[in-house]
Amino acid sequence: MDANQHINNAKYLSYVETAQVQYLETIRSQQTDDSMASMISIVKKHVVQYKFPVTYPDKVSIGVKTDAKTIKAGQLDLICMIVSHKHKMVVCEVRTLLVAFDLRTNRKANMSPEFLRVLEQWEQCVDSDWRLAVEEKAQL
């Protein structure tokens, strides 16, 4: 937090990282095989758009989804929106490029077909108006 009681910009990425890990663990937990057991995701790039400062005290909600147009065998983009409950608005949008990395071979790798299948099924369950759903969460 800075002198104006604003949450530090780096904290936003901590929130996003936590939400992304939970999102990917949810996908992994639905796999029927262990083809991704030795795989991790590594952040290659973040693109952050700060829209409004979050001040203390406040609560935030984070929505995460995959940008289906960016899925390739070894990488994908996750889109995250951070919503302020106090201000009832999206305060930050983050696009993260993740690459798959195999700990056994110590190299960039492709995601398994099973992981991609489960990911696609999960995303089909996400409302096409997910942005509105995330924004409405702040209305609680």
Alpha carbons within 13 angstroms on the beta-carbon side of residue 53 total 11
Pairwise pLDDT comparison (130 vs 118), residue with the higher score: 118
Q: Residue 118 — very low, low, confident or very high, per pLDDT cuts 50/70/90?
A: confident
Does residue 91 register a pLDDT over 70? yes
pTM above 0.85, yes or no: no
**In this structure, what token pair is assigned to residue 100?**
């798959």
User: What average pLDDT is seen over the chain?
Assistant: 84
pLDDT confidence of residue 138: 45
Map out the domains of the chain as residue ranges.
9-137
Least confident of 30-39, 44-53, 114-123: 30-39
The closest alpha carbon to 82, from 135, 44, 125, belongs to 135
DSSP state of 55: B
CATH architecture of 9-137: Roll (3.10)
User: What share of the chain in percent tops pLDDT 90?
Assistant: 35
Question: What's the CA gap between 67 and 79, in Å, rounded?
Answer: 7
